[in-house]
Amino acid sequence: MLEKLKQRWKVNTLNLILIIATFALGGSLCGYAGRKILQLTNIDKGFLYILLYIILITLLWPICVLIISVPLGQFSFFRRYIKRIADRTSRRSAKKINIAIFASGAGSNAKKIIEHFSSPGKVKIALVVCNKPGAGVLDIAAQANIPSIVIEKNAFADGDAVLAQLKNYHIDFIVLAGFLLKVPEQLIKAFPKKIVNIHPALLPKYGGKGMYGHYVHESVIANKDVESGITIHFADEVYDHGEIILQARCPVDPNDTAATLAQKIHVLEHAHYATEIDKLLR
């Protein structure tokens, strides 16, 4: 273990001993200083005391090890060491979550999601994936200056081609927004619980292959259901399956047609999908 540390920190045996001593003495000084500071507050040794003590020693540790490092001749090492920790922490906190939106049609849901995340923040719409050349969602992506790719059905089913593209764009999360192709197993495994879908019905009713858009609404009306709605869920290997995240409902009136019901469903989709994605990612 000591040899590995010497190689990692690029130091000789004597410097390694002094570095370890600095860690130990700096930690002791940090603990002592934290206790002395808390004694001045007269706080009882309970939960609040422990919480403040942890916060104090976290803040004091860099100062204490730098102080101890001076007489031991390790100041330059610990200055670089603490800077690396600070840089790493800063990068982690600043890391964006890159979303890919998969859509096949006009892209009204995609547009709402893009608008929702348009302000600078932790979440970024980094890519739009479509399986239909000329689909409206591609125009929406272009207007928002979001890269897009069109992938052919067989290539998508293979999975490897789209996976490579997603890696190129550093995608962390996938949103299915009116995407009509079945997600291949490779993507499900590569993005466990990181692929969400929205379905225009109250699953498990009216789900499965071929059940999309007006086909769903026609079935609801034909069966004389008194309500319909949307289901937001995690995607898995089965069409319209996976853990349900949210369902929102709307009434089905006796005079509703597939077109009028679709309008009600669109209102629910636009009201809920982007905000639920936001909640999941936060």
- Residues tagged active-site: 199
Instruction: Tell me the C-alpha to C-alpha distance, in Å, between residue 117 and each of 143, 247, 270.
Output: 15, 22, 13
Helix residue spans in the chain (DSSP H): 2-9, 13-39, 47-69, 75-94, 108-116, 136-143, 153-158, 160-168, 185-190, 214-222, 258-281
Task: Fill in the amino acid letter for 74.
Answer: Q
Are 176 and 128 contacting, i.e. CB atoms less than 8 angstroms apart? no
The string of DSSP codes covering 159-174 is: -HHHHHHHHHTT--EE
> In this structure, what token pair is assigned to residue 16?
């390694």
